Chain A
């Protein structure tokens, strides 16, 4: 028995139909702790080298952490990991809800899916009974339709994670959906599930998890709930969730607009958190054991129809909203609804749709190819492109490949404004005015993703401090909301100071993924991470300091980099560059007018980042670095970074 864990790994080979269970090994627990640590280690060790993402042999690993499923805040995070069809390298994504908790209660910390089912199927994990069942009747259904159908068939307390039509069609940014609006959205995990002929995963668990100190866990769990509820931001943040940040991001000129052509909108009050509450929201919706529910379930009314939908949260407001030019929160919510039904990541979809519209505006693609004349700010245009992608109709077939591959096919220098890193589309923060944030996006293991590193506020704080205290005097500014705040470009020397902040954030954020809890309690409300030391001790019996947890996180970061080095041909520095728009085009207007990062600064930041990470000048971890973390060294470089 290992305290804090269900104690088993479940293996499902879809090709042979063989289902096996094995004990969770102490060595894996000691070495990687859980969640994303487990998934990264298993993918590295077990996935056949150089396997193609849609090859049946590409495995999907699902894992929970030691804190998952216990009486402590927001302990319902589930991690999915596979070789990504977006990047061709390491891919993972996580979601809240109740799915993984039920997998753990059924007795499994980890589920590993390999092979390919002969026919459309779903996997049912029902305590000890695990089966692969026909799903022909569900194939073609939307994500929410299959979820409700399976619940009707099996029972409301069965938890469903499903793909939509986009996953069936292998759209490279297809997601896995759960709880009518929660998604493991990024890196195309839904497409890999579709390639295996799996429409849905269902969990139902009624067991319990051994805990080292149940009374202590109850006491510390309760205390942590109380601390969160007493935080200054709790009462303010919860009604809007992440949508509350729209005003600030816009005020500093960092909201993606019309495919990152601009970074400021004059209609923020039409798509911000206040508008969401006023026009859209019906109720708050949280995940397992969440004290501060960020989900906002609402009802959208548009010219294309009305829809119940969870969301949009900030990333969706930015990527399907301002980045596609939509200026009405109902319209953004409807586009969100379409993505949820079709089973596509709203971040990647927002980048791909806006890329397509810019291609049309620049006459790189025709009305005939697209099926209609499209434009920014037009819901019918956005909806048409989304549906054509999910069906792989016309140019939708090209766009379904993701923005990097689509730009390669369309050509005509469209890669200049294909906004991605490593093939994964960007998310909701313009970063030409934030060198640290840009570096975080560039060096993320899965490609451009804010949840790996978020230092935009630190960028502006550093710029403010660099002005020698000559900050904007508040008494000279009339409004805190609704006006724009200009910043001067960050001095180069200060940019270099951002490197350790980026690395710290890249250790901090994934730590929550490893423990199996949501990061928002710390990131959004300021819960001190040291609270997790007591929670980990009471759960597992191991005395881990927060620094110990961060060391797991850094180790996983090195491992996923090594995986990319092993799996992607010619992987190295060039995979860490941002798209050319970000180092060639200055932001044309708004508070960040004139900002851009020149290539020399980007190279300097990469040099300093690689050196701090123990990687060579091409961004490859040295064998010495990998050995220092106790990791396999075959993908490492013999070169130093002198």
Chain B
């Protein structure tokens, strides 16, 4: 990312996401700080992490639920990625 504008983003992963990716991404932590290109979208963040969007139940950005993956990610965003959970 030398020369490109970057920003810091905090990502929190739910236990179910950590569980699903524990073999593929042992480096995942419940809370991580990431440096990302400034023009990245939400979908781009997921691609960067290697998280399949089909495995996400709820995605929160700065306490607001994110519904569209082509939304730009704001600088300093706090992102929560939650996997699916059993009901009842």
Residues of chain A having any CB pair with chain B under 8 Å:
231-233, 235-237, 242-245, 247-249, 251-252, 313-318, 347, 427-428, 450-451, 454, 456-458, 460-461, 464-465, 469, 471-482, 485, 487, 522-528
CB neighbours of A318 from chain B (8 A): 87
User: B46: shortest Cβ distance to chain A, in Å?
Assistant: 4
Report the bound CA distance from A458 to B52 in whole Å: 13
Chain B, residues 48-83, CB within 8 Å of chain A (1/0): the string is 001111111111100101111110000000001111
Among B19, B70, B84, the residue within 8 A (CB) of A248 is B84
Report the bound CA distance from A434 to B69 in whole Å: 26
Chain B, residues 14-35, CB within 8 Å of chain A (1/0): the string is 1110111101100000110000
Q: Is the CB of B53 within 8 A of A232?
A: no
Q: Is the CB of B54 within 8 A of A314?
A: no
CB neighbours of B88 from chain A (8 A): 242, 313-316, 347, 427-428, 450-451
Report the bound CA distance from A148 to B66 in whole Å: 43
Report the bound CA distance from A457 to B20 in whole Å: 8
Among A251, A315, A478, A524, the residue within 8 A (CB) of B85 is A524
Residues of chain B having any CB pair with chain A under 8 Å:
12-16, 18-21, 23-24, 30-31, 41-47, 50-60, 63, 65-70, 80-88
Interface of B is mostly: mixed
Q: Is the CB of B54 within 8 A of A236?
A: no
CB neighbours of A316 from chain B (8 A): 88
CB neighbours of A247 from chain B (8 A): 57
Report the bound CA distance from A478 to B82 in whole Å: 18
A-B contact pairs, 28 of them (CB 8 A): A232-B80, A232-B82, A235-B63, A236-B58, A244-B57, A248-B57, A249-B84, A252-B54, A316-B88, A317-B87, A450-B88, A451-B88, A454-B86, A457-B83, A457-B85, A461-B20, A461-B55, A465-B24, A471-B50, A471-B52, A473-B43, A473-B47, A475-B43, A475-B44, A479-B67, A482-B67, A526-B18, A526-B30
User: A272: shortest Cβ distance to chain B, in Å?
Assistant: 11
Q: Is the CB of A480 within 8 A of B87?
A: no
Q: A479-B67, A487-B54 are in contact. Are A232 and B12 (CB under 8 A)?
A: yes
Q: A232-B80, A236-B80, A485-B53 are in contact. Are A478 and B68 (CB under 8 A)?
A: yes
Q: Is the CB of A236 within 8 A of B60?
A: yes
Can you name the residue of chain B whose Cβ is closest to the Cβ of A429? B86
Question: How many pairs, one residue from A and one from B, have CB atoms within 8 Å of each other in the complex?
Answer: 145
User: B86: shortest Cβ distance to chain A, in Å?
Assistant: 4
Can you name the residue of chain B whose Cβ is closest to the Cβ of A509? B86
Q: A314-B87, A454-B86 are in contact. Are A480 and B55 (CB under 8 A)?
A: no
Among B23, B44, B55, B69, the residue within 8 A (CB) of A457 is B55
Q: Is the CB of A523 within 8 A of B85?
A: yes
CB neighbours of A249 from chain B (8 A): 84, 87
Which of A347, A457, A478 is most buried by chain B, counting CB atoms within 10 A of its CB?
A: A457
Report the bound CA distance from A236 to B43 in whole Å: 20
Can you name the residue of chain A whose Cβ is closest to the Cβ of B24? A465
Report the bound CA distance from A457 to B82 in whole Å: 12
User: A305: shortest Cβ distance to chain B, in Å?
Assistant: 25
Q: Is the CB of A474 within 8 A of B80?
A: no
CB neighbours of A454 from chain B (8 A): 86
Which of A427, A451, A461, A523 is most buried by chain B, counting CB atoms within 10 A of its CB?
A: A461
Which of A317, A464, A487 is most buried by chain B, counting CB atoms within 10 A of its CB?
A: A464
Q: Is the CB of A245 within 8 A of B68?
A: no
Q: A236-B60, A245-B84 are in contact. Are A472 and B14 (CB under 8 A)?
A: no
Q: A232-B14, A460-B54, A482-B67 are in contact. Are A475 and B85 (CB under 8 A)?
A: no
CB neighbours of A477 from chain B (8 A): 43, 53, 69
